[in-house]
Amino acid sequence: MWRGGRLGRGAALGLLLAVHGVAAFEPISVGIAIGAASALTGYLSYTDLYCRFAECCREEQRLNASALKLELEEKLFGQHLATEVILKALTGFKNNKNPKKPLTLSLHGWAGTGKNFVSQIVAENLHSKGLKSNFVHLFVSTLHFPHEQQIKLYQDQLQGWIRGNVSACASSVFIFDEMDKLHPGVIDAIKPFLDYYEEVDGVSYRKAIFIFLSNAGGDLITKIALDFWRAGRKREDIQLKDLEPVLSVGVFNNKHSGLWHSGLIDRNLIDYFIPFLPLEYRHVKMCVRAEMRARGSAIDEDIVTRVAEEMTFFPKSEKIYSDKGCKTVQSRLDFH
């Protein structure tokens, strides 16, 4: 006896896979295939069926704030400010059906403190394929914008790339890594897209998210963290107001920040400057345990201690903070 539900789904998949052979999913062929598949199944909409087999831009999809909060708390160590600010910023932005501008976050701190890791978590919580999503775009300064003589070309290319991708998906995410290595002026090309405009040349950018990652300001963050430590205060007592004003001014005046004298700061278009604090010995041990769990290994505290003690710490007198954060934990664990 013919079993409509099961055979219908199989037929739908067969039709879509057949269409997959058409170069670049030619729209008319896809439409015919999905129409036929919908007729066979009898209960799936065009969009629902298509999105089962191809990634779709779900502009109105709500953020699972509880899942994001849990992931940040369980996987990001020693960064109470980043966890709090990123959660509030993303939740508020995604819950706002009519934002006035894109959400723009600038993450600062030394290497190995979790900036790239957080951008990966954010990407995965906004688009299921994370950094592999067609709607998440990663720019690396030394790779995509290497030559100082070609700033004008990079500006034009950047504008065209962002315009095209936001036109395809309004909730696109753009991540700029190594901002401290970006030639001054390049990033100002996207200033019109970050401003308070309904549209720019017929395109609305208000639901997009821009994330900047930078080592610039790491010295300022460390100084304040060290002042708290020397005063006998907990690092958890550090508040955003203790760091954000210093960070924004410091980055604005730093010729090697990628945001030197940038209109993005001058026009207050960066919503949050988010400091990543230097990591202590105990945080490095947390990173080692997390890496062991990720590898499916039993937690061996002797190995955890040995790996942590192999790291170098600063300042020389107190040796409080890991100079590479948790960046080399994976490679060091390979030797044990």
231 is in an annotated binding site: no
- Phi–psi pair at 169, nearest 5 degrees: -150, 110
Find out whether 203 and 166 touch, Cβ atoms under 8 Å: yes
The CA-atom distances, in angstroms, between 316 and each of 306, 310, 323 are: 20, 15, 11
218 is in an annotated binding site: no
305 is in an annotated binding site: no
185 is in an annotated binding site: no
- Determine the Cα–Cα distance for residues 285 and 306; give it in Å rounded to an integer: 9
217 is in an annotated binding site: no
- Determine the Cα–Cα distance for residues 159 and 195; give it in Å rounded to an integer: 14
Query: SS3 sequence, 46-105?
Result: HHHHHHHHCCCCCCCCCCCHHHHHHHHHHHCCCCHHHHHHHHHHHHHHHHCCCCCCCEEE
Full strand arrangement of the beta sheet holding 103-108 = 136-140, 173-177, 209-214, 103-108, 272-275
113 is in an annotated binding site: yes
109 is in an annotated binding site: yes
325 is in an annotated binding site: no
Q: Which residues are annotated as a binding site for ATP?
A: 109-116
Residues of the binding site: 109-116
